[in-house]
Chain A
Amino acid sequence: MKTRTVKPEPQAKIPSAWPIVRDAAFFTALFLILLLRIDPSLIYHRQSPVFLLAFDFAAGFLNRPGGPFEWLSGLLSQALFSPPAGAALLTAMAWAVSRLTGALIRGLRPPDRFGFIHLVPAALLTGLHACYTVPLSADLGLLAVLAAAAAFVRVRPKWAPRLAACFIISLVLYYLAAGFFLLFTLLCVLIEAVHAKRPASGAVMTAAAVLIPTAARRFFILDPAGAWLSLLDFKRTDTAGAISLLLAAFFPALVLLLHPVMRRRPLLPERFRIRSPRVRFILQTAALAVLAAAAAVFPIEKSNRLLLTVDKMARFRQWERILNLASKEARPPLTVTFQANRALYHSGRLLDDLFTLPQPFGPSGLALPRKFSESAPLQESDFCWDLGSIDESRHWALEALSTDGETPWILKRLSLAHFVLGDTAAAVVCLNRMDRGLFLRGDAAAIRRMLSDSAAAAGDPAVLHGRAVIGRTGFIAFNGHPPAELDSLLRDHPDNRMALEYRVATDLLAGRLKDLPDFVRAFRALDYPRIPRHVEEALVLRWALSGEKDPPPEMRVVAPETVRRFGEFNRVLGRHRGDRAAAGADLQASFGGTYWYYAFTRQAAGRRAQAPSSENRGSR
């Protein structure tokens, strides 16, 4: 084959410190992106990595290919709980990947330094973590593949040692990293077939790659797809899947690119080639910066990040921060509305400010509909605990144990629920399990103190709440916490304020106003200092809709200012003479946070969305 000759490049060199400075700047930027933009604690929150220092826990990982790295991933992922430690860990992983990529490139003997290409996988890996769902086992798998490939290219370039090395390393790699071994084998095959020009050797390696997962199915419980692809994210159809594929494709492409024939072929036409190494270096660095920023920022889905942030804040009961975030969203996802409403209750503002936040029509933003609670059993458990369904809280925590494993929060919730429900022996089992966690012994000791010291239990707000609202008579738990369930909770504990306020809010959101007088009596019985604003607004509306001239008795609790404002609302409405669209804009400006405006827009929407829905049909 005839190859084109390329003019020798000028040998003007860039200062030796420049690449070092560039690499340092690159990894510093990655660290900052991870810390400030991606936030490793959100990865921790999303994945809830489990790690226990227990033999039976480890044994559950050692009985399948890829298990050892999943176990190690669980251990390392504990660092993600702390944003700085997590960012440092992920940066270190990215650095190690770039170093090993460099080692692989050097092993393939390129003619000169191969620019910044060794940093590209690090940027892609960071992009992968920006999706929040990819576990550290992916990093470990990639590191192992690169280390193995870098070692392989250094094996004596004869067919026998190379074959032996490929087979032995593949076996070890398969057990440690499961599907990642395929990438290693592919690299080996390419190196042998393309670089060493031994296609037969490559064919034997391919046969070994086929053989290993097939044989593994005799020793491990693996379905055919699992035997080949476990730990690989290629099967996913989301951004993470695409980046994984890109990352995996990068290395075979690199091996092909480093082939002597390809090396001699210029990538760019002659007239676009940059002769000056310094200019080239600066342009490469700029391209790298763009790549890093794109990889780290582009995969972040705003709604996903918002959801994780709000959910994490709810876990730590940072209610005001949730309300700050939610108030900035015009059309938040339903689960964000759910947590924001929870935050309103815990801030004592549910029935005063419910309609200042965007609400879907109907009560679906108050309690998670079934399909949401099934996908987030722990969140449902938290909500049930707040609401006073302690048994149901335990039930959902047990479901979460099945879906998410023995995460710290699940173990804590279970031990507290068992304790409050009087199943002390079951609580002790959970506490013993917590003792095996890396950072859970303190929590376990605190709960254990409560088991033996009633004064300690009486001082714990969660236990105090649980005991105060625990079910007495019992009833059937329904999906989505309908009014009947809230009524049952109130029958058990008329002083259950959350059940009362959620019951009232459910009716307001559903446009049911007939029970308002009963709710007013309930507020008085519980010594509410005043009737909440939205209830006052609903009472006025109810009176107006009744057509009665004289105000009903419950109107006595309504402040005159509320009645005056309702008159103003009606005047604005009347000004537009049936033009609801124009009236809506005016009303939103002055009455956007009122129940009247919600009722107005709800009526305008023709009561389309009374049933729980995942759509974000906001009232504003």
Chain B
Amino acid sequence: MNHPFRCALRLCLTVLPAAVFFMGCGSPDPGPVQAVGRPPVIEPDYSGIEIPPNLAPLNFRLQEKAEAFRIEAEGADGTGFRIRGRGRDVILPAGPWRRLLDANRGRDIRFSVTVRDSLGQWLRFDPIVNRVSHDSIDGYLVYRKMPPVCVFWKRLSVVERNLGSFKERVILDNRAMRDGCFNCHTFYGNRTDRWLVHLRGAPSTAMLLTVDGRTRLMRTQTESVPAAAAYASWHPDGRTLAFANMKVRQFFHTAGPNRDVYDLTSDLAVCRIDSAVVAAPPEIADPARLETYPAWAPDGKALYFCSAPAYDTTGFFERHTYRTIKYDLMKASHDPVTGGFGRPVTVLAAAKTGLSATHPRVSPDGRFLLFCLCEYGNFSIYRPGTDLYLMDLRTGDFRRLECNSGQSDSYHSWSANGRWFVFSSKRGDGVLARPYFAHVDADGAVSRPFVLPQKDPGLYGSHLYTFNVPELVAEPVRPGRKQILDAALDTQRTLNCRSAGPAAAASVGAGVEEQTWKPAR
């Protein structure tokens, strides 16, 4: 290498980065600083929250008249970092952020914010104080990203987000799937070796099922279970699925909350995936009732679900019958050996609350049941009054959580350790759902929720896509997206389930070891 070139390279490698560094830190040192006497307003609101120690930086935008800012982040142990910048967007450095969280597990961290206003005056705000949790959160969040639509779904994707960074990975995109719809991705125990997603319309109406990292279409519709599967739940044995099968109808109001949904019919069914046998046991498929939202208890010995009496469809709209459909929270015992169900018992009656119960999810330790209560019906994401409730299964006591808002707070998922849950909330604007996280301690106390952090702190303020069906998983989704897409498009290899028949319906698939499951390689 000749000498002038070496000099130029040295200049590039040393002087320029230094220049850039000093330019970046170039805001003048604050002279006299005026105390404001309150914490700064920031968006998203990351103040007074509990943070998982493995979460990406909580970038935020100052909602103050700021031309420049200085942030001092400091942990209780004295470690921390300082940043300066212009404008209002505060982008926290990933490395120091991780070190700060690591060093302060179980302790508070403080963010001291000083800003320079348009007159050149420096203003110091009271610090923002957050707490770093001892409990980690699962490494990934999988959600559906789409415009807030009801009829057409042209830009629909299932996205995996690395919670330790800002990396997003598209798992499924319906533009590559003939604009078909898909919904309710469901993972087995926060893992990704077994999971499913329901496809609708195109490429086919079936369940896209992944078992041990291999994916294949499975059609659960049979004579006894005519409708396609929805709202599935994995039994802890990893081989049995409970799901709802219903005829859904959507309609629109011209005033107030616009969208509405009701089920004409709805039953639960059970599918044994290794033998591809489907059954609708009468205990959970009562023609006189509408059963939906199954959720297994972690020990597999009970199935929680929601159930409402079937109704008369005469004058359904004129008499506002849809407003009277309210779901009870139910539980049916289950014998994992025989596969049989016991008579369902009411866990929480709609008559008691005056509200409709949806989306029961039991915490992994079996202690808590997280569910929604809404005004009526079962499509709680469309009802602005939907709130999250937590029931202590040891005592049966339940309470409305403090993390609720005036808008719909719905569709939740537990972390593998049961100390965090994520839920969809429309609190931002009433239209677009965003994923919020909250911590639950051993006594069921729930922390103030916070929204999924983004690299661009202004993203939620100008992003017209809704994030729904958030599911926490501990590992990246498997298999690769090419294999998933190929399996979704390979309708020829769809595995058609067969009906268990009336005799076997009461004990679906118990003892059946017929290996018909041959996933695509």
Contacts and interface: CB of A to CB of B under 8 A. Distances in A.
Interface of A: 54-56, 63, 217-218, 221-224, 226, 374, 377, 389, 391-392, 394-395, 398-399, 401-403, 405-406, 414, 418, 423, 425-426, 428-430, 432-433, 435-436, 470-477, 485, 488-489, 492
Given A56-B456, A429-B429, A391 B152 contact: no
Given A425-B429, A470-B255, A488-B254, A401 B464 contact: yes
A224 B432 CA distance: 33
B134 interface: no
Given A391-B252, A429-B463, A475-B253, 18 more contacts: A55-B456, A218-B482, A223-B177, A224-B489, A226-B175, A377-B152, A399-B152, A401-B147, A402-B146, A402-B149, A402-B152, A403-B154, A429-B432, A433-B463, A477-B251, A488-B254, A489-B254, A492-B255
Contacts of B485: 217, 221-223
B252 A402 contact: no
Contacts of B458: 432
19 contacts: A54-B462, A218-B480, A222-B176, A222-B485, A223-B178, A391-B253, A391-B254, A392-B252, A395-B252, A398-B149, A399-B151, A399-B152, A401-B464, A426-B429, A426-B431, A426-B432, A433-B462, A474-B254, A477-B254
Given A423-B429, A429-B429, A56 B459 contact: yes
A477 B152 CA distance: 17
Instruction: Report, nearest first, the 10 A-B pairs whose CB atoms are least far apart.
Output: A474-B255, A471-B255, A432-B462, A425-B429, A426-B429, A402-B149, A477-B252, A426-B431, A402-B147, A471-B254
Interface of B: 146-155, 170, 172-173, 175-178, 251-256, 258-259, 317, 428-432, 456, 458-464, 480-482, 485, 489
Given A394-B258, A401-B147, A429 B482 contact: no
A435 B462 contact: yes
Contacts of B148: 398, 401
B352 to A, nearest CB: 28
A147 to B, nearest CB: 28
Contacts of B482: 217-218
Contacts of B481: 221
Contacts of B432: 426, 429
Contacts of A425: 428-430
B429 A223 contact: no
A398 B152 CA distance: 9
Contacts of A226: 175-176
A21 to B, nearest CB: 47
B253 A432 contact: no
Contacts of A63: 170
Contacts of A56: 456, 459, 463
A428 B173 contact: no
Contacts of B430: 423, 425-426
Given A391-B258, A402-B152, A405-B155, A476 B461 contact: no
A423 B148 CA distance: 15
B249 to A, nearest CB: 11
A474 B253 contact: yes
A402 B256 CA distance: 22
Nearest to B456: A55
Contacts of B147: 398, 401-402
B259 A395 contact: yes
Contacts of A399: 149-152
A222 B178 CA distance: 11
A401 B461 CA distance: 17
A489 B458 CA distance: 39
B254 A389 contact: yes
Contacts of B146: 402
Contacts of A428: 429, 461
A473 B482 CA distance: 50
B162 to A, nearest CB: 16
B153 A402 contact: yes
Given A63-B170, A217-B482, A476 B317 contact: yes
A192 B267 CA distance: 65
Contacts of A223: 176-178, 485, 489
Nearest to B156: A402
Contact of A477 (B176, B253, B459): B253
Contact of B150 (A54, A398, A426, A472): A398
A56 B254 CA distance: 33
A55 B458 CA distance: 11
Contacts of A470: 255
Query: Which of B152, B155, B172, B458 is the most central at the interface, judged by chain A CB atoms within 10 Å of its CB?
Result: B152
A204 to B, nearest CB: 25
Contact of B254 (A55, A392, A403): A392
B150 A395 contact: yes
A395 B428 contact: no
Contacts of B253: 391, 474-477
A403 B461 contact: no
Nearest to A223: B176
- Residue among B258, B430, B485 having the largest count of chain A Cβ atoms under 10 Å: B258
A403 to B, nearest CB: 5
A474 B253 CA distance: 6
Best-surrounded residue of B151, B481, B489 (most CB of chain A within 10 A): B151
Contact of B464 (A222, A403, A430): A430
B431 A418 contact: yes
Contacts of A222: 176, 485
A477 B177 CA distance: 31
B456 A476 contact: no
Nearest to B465: A56
Contact of B462 (A377, A436, A473, A488): A436
A96 B146 CA distance: 38
B315 to A, nearest CB: 12
B265 to A, nearest CB: 20
Contacts of B431: 418, 423, 426, 429
Contacts of B459: 56
A528 to B, nearest CB: 25
Contacts of B150: 395, 398-399
Nearest to B171: A221
A398 B382 CA distance: 15
A399 B256 CA distance: 18
Nearest to A492: B255
Nearest to A406: B464
A395 B153 CA distance: 13
A516 to B, nearest CB: 26
B430 to A, nearest CB: 5
Nearest to B151: A399
A218 to B, nearest CB: 5
B172 A221 contact: yes
A217 B460 CA distance: 31
Q: Name the residue among B148, B177, B259, B428 with the largest chain A CB count within 10 angstroms.
A: B148
Contacts of B456: 55-56
A489 B254 CA distance: 9
A476 B429 contact: no
B149 A401 contact: yes
A63 B159 CA distance: 13
A403 B252 CA distance: 19
Between B152, B175, B464, the greatest number of chain A beta carbons within 10 A of the residue's beta carbon is seen for B464
A390 to B, nearest CB: 8
A212 to B, nearest CB: 15
A354 B256 CA distance: 34
Contacts of A473: 255
Given A55-B456, A218-B480, A221-B170, A476 B153 contact: no
Contacts of B149: 398-399, 401-402
B6 to A, nearest CB: 30
B258 to A, nearest CB: 5
A428 B256 CA distance: 20
B252 A476 contact: yes
Contacts of A374: 151-152
Contact of B154 (A402, A406, A432, A489): A402
Contacts of A218: 480, 482
